[in-house]
Copies of this chain bind each other. A is one copy, B any other.
Amino acid sequence: MNDIKHKIFFQPHAREIEVADGENLIRAAMEAGVHINASCGGEGVCGKCRVILEKGEIEGGTEKLSSEDREKGYHLACLSKVRSDLVVRIPVESNVDASVLNLAASPRHTARIKEFRLESIKEQGLLIPPVEKRYLELPPPTAQDNLADVTRLINFLKIKHDEHRLVVDLNVMRQIPELLREGDFKVTATIIRPVREDGKNQIILVEPGDTTSRNFAVAMDIGTTTVYGEVLDLNSGEVLSSYGDFNGQISYGEDVISRIIFSEKNGGLDILQKKVIETVNNVLGKIIKKAGIRKDEVSTITLAGNSTMTQLLLGINPRYIRRAPYVPASILYPPFNASDIGIDLGRHTIALLYPGVSSYVGGDIVAGVMGSGLYKSDKLTLFMDIGTNAEIVIGNKDWMACTACSAGPAFEGGGITFGMRASKGAIEDFSIDPVTFEPMIMTKGNVRAKGICGSGLITIVASLFENNVINNRGKFHQELDTERIRQKDGIWEYVLVWKDNTQIDRDITISEPDIDNLIRAKGAMYSGALTLLEEVGLTINDIEQIILAGGFGSYVDLESAMTIGLLPELDPKKVIYLGNGSLLGAKMSSYTNQFRRDVGEVVKMMTNFELAETPSYMDHYVSALFLPHTELNYFPKLKERMDARKVW
């Protein structure tokens, strides 16, 4: 994506917004708080989202229109890409009622996405990875100088490269005599650094000739659902390739608890370990091929995952993770040869595992805390990784408190009538016309809708609530004049997409039980954060910054999340989308050994709280089972907007 920005001026709303070059026009409208009817998800088949281009250049949007419409400047917003500054008019049939213009709309904000800045690492002289290659031209042994081969190698690494405290294991030792002679005593030694500076530097590989230009690392996030990997060039710092795949364990359970239960069955642990290793190897195969390197050129693989994923990866029985008092086997893991657990890399490749804090605040969160820079931040930060098992960290460079809560599967589409994963056809963006209650819908991949993903669910509920379609208990205002609100089998629901515009030949709806599930999920998270703050003597108003980690966190619309009371109300500019923080942390540890060293200190700093052991948690939880919360003072801006709309 380039950095070019364009301004769009929407008429008759007279609302302006700046978007990136190539942005979809319907998303731009959503961002601006301008409603356009749209129900086909962006496929361009419902034809409802017609807008008139008054000025500027749009790419696409006219393919499905008559020549007559084209001449009038019509475009289908859902198929239009913004290519210049624009003036766009929403026609009456798309906008229904101008009265909406006078309502205080909530413009949508995309949070800053945390970017990995390689240059900054380089400038700080921190591109000193845990594993380095050293080229040496050794004097061949003579009668007067017949040191042992290993001694010669170590002595000259000391003399020529100031390397100290070197050790060699048996596997490498076995190969050294032949390798030295094969390379005519010109060799490259690969050295892995210790975590503690006073530890040993281990020679893990000796190669004939100068191979210093070929030093690669893999960073990998072992998620419960997905496994992402990247190949990193440790000389240039470049990411050479990346790939993600579903964790092969998925067929044995969707979440960590069901995985643990399966692992306790006879042979279950072995199966789950084998499955995740298969996935790891599959991802490795892809990224190594794509990067154009050999697998034995990978010096380290740094892996981050939650505590259950980590234990399953290592073949450590996770049974006590799910049993009170929730004890993980370990929080620190020693470096080991990746091939020892079946990872298909060089015999010498060292696996480095992110340490965790507790059973439910694992290495993925620590990696996120590291990758986001939270551990170096002055600002009091709320770090959240939203999911079925959601983790919360509060703190700054001086201290950190963390906890985890079980939000249930609603954020991942679970327990929702038309819930689905965030894949093609999932409704991910939604707005509602406050007068007609007609929806504007965009799906992932701009195809006809199949269902609702987690981020879509949040946006839908936020929009329904803010437009007074549901009350603060998540119940529909049954009296509203729209056929989209209906009772079916005794359950009230809102029709998001009529079946003709779906891929599933059924009306796609959101029901009161669906909304209730979401309220309970967001309530668990919000009350977790409140409880944690209370434990450390702070309040929600002290939060200076929010970091949203995880795949889900990258999709969630901030305004919506604040509207439903999932996130505390904060200037969206103070929210950072971290993306895959686990992968980011793994990547940064791969580049910078100092970073890897810091992790140990950070883990010690992170004080774990068990919500189940914190009596106030249940009170906070019950108070959070409202939209946005019983305590509206936590959400002053929303209150203001709601007051303006006279929702109360």
User: How far is B177's CA from A314's CA once the two chains are assembled, in angstroms?
Assistant: 14
When the two chains form their complex, are residues B327 and A147 in contact, meaning their CB atoms are under 8 A apart? yes
0/1 interface trace, chain A 125-141, chain B, CB 8 Å (1 if under): 00000000000000001
Residues of B within 8 A of A167 (CB): 334
Residues of B within 8 A of A326 (CB): 146
Does A517 lie at the interface of the complex (its beta carbon under 8 Å from any beta carbon of B)?
no
Q: Which listed residue, B145, B148, B174, B315, touches A328 by the CB 8 Å rule?
A: B148
Does A101 lie at the interface of the complex (its beta carbon under 8 Å from any beta carbon of B)?
no
Does A150 lie at the interface of the complex (its beta carbon under 8 Å from any beta carbon of B)?
yes
Does A151 lie at the interface of the complex (its beta carbon under 8 Å from any beta carbon of B)?
yes
Shortest A174–chain B CB gap in Å is: 5
0/1 interface trace, chain A 163-184, chain B, CB 8 Å (1 if under): 0000111100110111001000
Does A293 lie at the interface of the complex (its beta carbon under 8 Å from any beta carbon of B)?
no
User: How far is B150's CA from A398's CA once the two chains are assembled, in angstroms?
Assistant: 26
- A window 439-467: CB within 8 A of B: none
When the two chains form their complex, are residues B173 and A324 in contact, meaning their CB atoms are under 8 A apart? no
Q: Besides A143-B612, A174-B317, A198-B198, 5 other CB < 8 A contacts?
A: A168-B330, A169-B336, A173-B330, A174-B315, A181-B320
When the two chains form their complex, are residues A143 and B324 in contact, meaning their CB atoms are under 8 A apart? yes
User: How far is B198's CA from A315's CA once the two chains are assembled, in angstroms?
Assistant: 31
Shortest A196–chain B CB gap in Å is: 9
Does A340 lie at the interface of the complex (its beta carbon under 8 Å from any beta carbon of B)?
yes
Q: Which listed residue, B151, B319, B320, B324, touches A331 by the CB 8 Å rule?
A: B151
When the two chains form their complex, are residues A329 and B173 in contact, meaning their CB atoms are under 8 A apart? yes
- A window 538-572: CB within 8 A of B: none
When the two chains form their complex, are residues B314 and A148 in contact, meaning their CB atoms are under 8 A apart? no
Does A358 lie at the interface of the complex (its beta carbon under 8 Å from any beta carbon of B)?
yes
In the complex, the 9 A-B pairs of residues with the closest C-beta atoms, listed nearest first: A150-B330, A146-B325, A148-B331, A148-B328, A143-B325, A143-B613, A141-B327, A177-B329, A141-B325
When the two chains form their complex, are residues B333 and A149 in contact, meaning their CB atoms are under 8 A apart? no
When the two chains form their complex, are residues A317 and B177 in contact, meaning their CB atoms are under 8 A apart? yes
Does A266 lie at the interface of the complex (its beta carbon under 8 Å from any beta carbon of B)?
no
Residues of B within 8 A of A173 (CB): 314, 316, 329-330, 333
- A window 393-428: CB within 8 A of B: none
Residues of B within 8 A of A341 (CB): 170
Copies of this chain, complex-wide, total 2
Does A215 lie at the interface of the complex (its beta carbon under 8 Å from any beta carbon of B)?
no
User: How far is B554's CA from A275's CA once the two chains are assembled, in angstroms?
Assistant: 61
25 contacts between A and B (CB under 8 A): A143-B324, A143-B612, A145-B325, A146-B325, A146-B359, A146-B610, A148-B329, A148-B331, A149-B320, A149-B329, A149-B330, A150-B330, A150-B331, A151-B330, A151-B331, A167-B334, A169-B336, A170-B314, A170-B336, A170-B341, A174-B329, A176-B329, A177-B316, A177-B319, A181-B320
Shortest A422–chain B CB gap in Å is: 33
Q: Which listed residue, B169, B174, B331, B333, touches A170 by the CB 8 Å rule?
A: B333
A325 nearest in chain B by CB position: B146
Does A98 lie at the interface of the complex (its beta carbon under 8 Å from any beta carbon of B)?
no
Residues of B within 8 A of A613 (CB): 143-144
User: SS class of chain A's interface: helix, strand, loop or mixed?
Assistant: loop
Residues of B within 8 A of A213 (CB): none
Residues of B within 8 A of A148 (CB): 327-331, 358
Given A169-B336, A170-B340, A314-B173, the answer on whether A329 and B610 have CB atoms closer than 8 Å is no
0/1 interface trace, chain A 602-629, chain B, CB 8 Å (1 if under): 0000000010110000000000000000
User: How far is B388's CA from A298's CA once the two chains are assembled, in angstroms?
Assistant: 47
Residues of B within 8 A of A330 (CB): 148-151, 168, 173, 176
A202 nearest in chain B by CB position: B334
User: How far is B147's CA from A359's CA once the two chains are assembled, in angstroms?
Assistant: 9
When the two chains form their complex, are residues B170 and A334 in contact, meaning their CB atoms are under 8 A apart? yes
When the two chains form their complex, are residues B146 and A178 in contact, meaning their CB atoms are under 8 A apart? no
Q: Which listed residue, B144, B181, B314, B610, touches A174 by the CB 8 Å rule?
A: B314
Does A251 lie at the interface of the complex (its beta carbon under 8 Å from any beta carbon of B)?
no
Does A632 lie at the interface of the complex (its beta carbon under 8 Å from any beta carbon of B)?
no
Shortest A438–chain B CB gap in Å is: 51
User: How far is B167's CA from A200's CA once the two chains are assembled, in angstroms?
Assistant: 14
User: How far is B329's CA from A146's CA once the two chains are assembled, in angstroms?
Assistant: 11
A326 nearest in chain B by CB position: B146
Does A2 lie at the interface of the complex (its beta carbon under 8 Å from any beta carbon of B)?
no
Residues of B within 8 A of A324 (CB): 143
Residues of B within 8 A of A176 (CB): 329-330
